[in-house]
A and B are shown apart, each in its own frame.
Chain A
Amino acid sequence: MAAPIPKNKRRRIALGCEGSANKLGIGVIAHDAVTGEPTVLSNVRHTFVSPPGTGFLPKDTAAHHRSFFVRVAKQALADAGISISEIDCICYTRGPGMGGPLTSVAIGARTLSLLWGNIPLVGVNHCVGHIEMGRAITGAQNPVVLYVSGGNTQVIAYAEQRYRIFGEALDIAVGNCLDRFARTLEISNDPAPGYNIEQLARRGQTLLDLPYAVKGMDCSFSGILTRADELAAQMKKELSQGKETFTPADLCFTLQETVFAMLVEITERAMAHVGSNQVLIVGGVGCNERLQEMMCAMAAERGGSVYATDERFCIDNGIMIAHAGLLAYETGFQTPLDESTCTQRFRTDEVFVKWRN
């Protein structure tokens, strides 16, 4: 399809819809028509929180997204103060993520596209959304990217129009490890299990013994989780016997120190390979201040620095989908309606990053 005919406007505008996990996010972004400078016009999110000791299941999560889509969309449009006729494209998360939740949001995006006069759709890779938003907000030029969330753990560097994966978790994501351990300890999932682990970890006093599982450029977390769960069971047993034992805070502290050290190591390895001393941390786990602190210490030793965004952009959101989608749209990319499906597996390096040199 030919590149879109540039409208005689000061700015291009995209609506973005995200729902690959338990966060439903809808946002509106504007790109200056001449400079491409991005402006966030609105960024609205609603999170599906499950009770302590449980995780969010696909069917319930999809139902949540359907239930809140209209509300969140209306708020996003109202906050942005735009009219429908100004929207150039509607972007949605194609993948990766959970099937049912992804599809529920895609149906919403398709319906809006059709209702509003066949506005073009753009399917976006969730990981690329995080990366592009991180770059836009922090201004980082060509950093090594650590993308860490409940669903993904990847070390990424840009080369020749692809975001190449240099290292990754071999089994479960680091955020998944943390979230599942929160369930073991029955820590609240509100606002997020990882956030509550971080707060509890600050009160930890004892560094216990956990396996350390870096394997070359990659790392593994499921064995660490198993051991952490064993320690938690041991702690509960000793408490019930009235013995002195370690605390949940000690466990959280130990788990964070261990998995974050692993992330710092594989990030540093990629930096050495690529010859970069800049790190950009994106994804929900990137909000964690202890992780940022440890990464900063490593980067400083190499004469570099760390870029991170705040919870508005770290945590899954619609604006990153709008931004990455609009970047693609501006190079002539569109997703025909009949092809606007979703996929649970969508590798970061599958995307042709035409908008960069």
Chain B
Amino acid sequence: MATDSSALEFPCSLTLNIPFPDARLSSIALQAIRVDKELSAMVQRHLSTVAPSEDTTEKSVLQVEYKATTNRMLRVAVNSFMDSLAFVLEVMEELDADVLEPPSS
């Protein structure tokens, strides 16, 4: 997907791999966050879930690749993503179905 001209236009890039306990949660984070488009045309973002290593097929890692025209735009975009991610994590930790209504043991 990354072409030579794309790398020239968006020279500043960063890839983050965020581990989740399982593929269900990484997929939920992906679906919740990717709906909103990047606000700036100077930033490109690609979100996906990937397996943490070759040993497993479970895609429990949320991977986000950011490309931006300047380091400042990259920093602003990534910081904003981290805010949303931290929020999603808190919602998962505190409000997941099994947290609110623990299955009777």
Contact = CB atoms under 8 A, between A and B. Distances in A.
Contact of A115 (B39, B83, B87, B92): B92
Interface in B33-52: 33, 35-37, 39
A338 B35 contact: yes
B88 interface: yes
A73 B95 CA distance: 8
Contacts of B88: 107, 111
B28 A111 contact: yes
Given A114-B28, A114-B32, A341-B35, A104 B84 contact: yes
B2 interface: no
Given A70-B94, A74-B94, A77-B100, A108 B87 contact: yes
Given A107-B33, A111-B28, A70 B97 contact: no
A interface, over-half SS: helix
Contacts of A112: 91, 95
Q: Interface majority SS on B: helix, strand, loop or mixed?
A: helix
Interface residues of A, number: 29
Could you say which of A73, A108, A342 has the most chain B C-beta atoms within 10 Å of its C-beta? A108
Contacts of B39: 99
Contacts, number: 68
**B95, B96, B97, B101: residue with the most chain A Cβ atoms closer than 10 Å:** B95
Contacts of B33: 107
B59 to A, nearest CB: 16
Interface string A101-143: 0011011101110111100000000000000000000000000
Interface in B71-105: 83-84, 86-88, 90-92, 94-97, 100-101
A337 B31 contact: yes
Interface residues of B, number: 23
Nearest to B90: A70
Contact of A66 (B32, B36, B87, B100): B87
A50 B100 CA distance: 33
Q: Which of B84, B87, B92 has the most CB of A within 10 A?
A: B87
B97 A84 contact: yes
A110 B101 contact: no
A108 B36 CA distance: 13
Interface of B: 28-29, 31-33, 35-37, 39, 83-84, 86-88, 90-92, 94-97, 100-101
